A and B are shown apart, each in its own frame.
Chain A
Amino acid sequence: MSEPPSVVTIASIGLAAGGAILLVAATAWAARPRGRSEKAETTPGAAAARSFAWIVIAGIAYSLLALAAAVRAPETDGLRASILQLLAVLLAAALGGLGLSASHPEKGGGSPLASAAVFAAWLSLVGLPPAVGFHGKVLVYRALLAAGWEWLAVIAVAGSAAALIPAFWALSSYRAGPLRGLRAVLAVALLIAVVLLGLYPQVGLLAAAPLAGLASGG
């Protein structure tokens, strides 16, 4: 007679399933085609912000997947991957939020800083270098493979590819408005953080290590 599944197994499978469902649903929602009536009612800036928000949620789902891998097999480094991915998502959300708050529908104007903020945020969320999101996603995939969840890794990679659809749509329709004062300073600081953590991931991993230690009771 086989042994009943342990709480750890159930928790890891539950987390993994929840993360996968959230990932697929959020990415699909971000990339869904817009209806004619909705197009007429929504400004391009608001629609781009909504796609961005759904991809941020998909990014959090990646963090959940890594957490599930860590619960299933603590030696997989999944906890650190989960925290680094969460850090990358939070930075990208703050940066993209600042850039998108400056968007405006009319022609003319345009702020290079706001454009750079939105582009860098999307790069990080899609998982492209030189943004910190690249390392977050690579470590999440690695943790999933190490936990023996190859098919989950395939879903996660497919989610990354699918995230390009809303990214292209949002970036092509986005028009940057001016960013001034404290918001400009904050955007510069976040932009530097996203790129610096991408070029030198040790800082992000150092920040993630104590949190991972605390979470695992180490």
Chain B
Amino acid sequence: MSVTDILMIGMWSAFFATSMCILNSTPFKYIIPTFICGFAGVLTRDLLQNTGLSVNWATLAAAFTIVIIAGLIIRSQKVPPIVLICAVLPQWASVSMFQMLNDLRKVTVLTGDDLSKAAVDLTANTAMVLVISLVIAIGFAMGLAVLKLVYREESKKEKTLGME
């Protein structure tokens, strides 16, 4: 994929993430961070995939990048989940999720070779949904751990106030 293609996809993804953010009536202050994080996430994933990294590792790195950038923009370790989720939505295996549910229907009605193919598709799509969701969760957890370290003064202050 050329750099121009990656930038274009990154931009469409960022606009999609921002639209989902507005649809959820998110406060205005989080709309620009969502756009930036959505763009950075897809850019990271596609650039890493271009260098030969697998989609799973690239998605993990993208999820990590989203959290770090959101934390740096908002200047807090308490990044609103809505920003993270809307920004990562373009990377979620939505197509695999719906195809998985469709394959589930297929395996109940098909026979012979068609059944075998549907069963393989079902396994592949299920694995894709699970692994992508898992790597996103790991990327987020790693990012949040780093933010906690970066903004450790904030954590100490909250502990003193009994807010944690």
A in complex with B: no
Q: Which chain B residues have a beta carbon within 8 Å of chain A's beta carbons? A: none
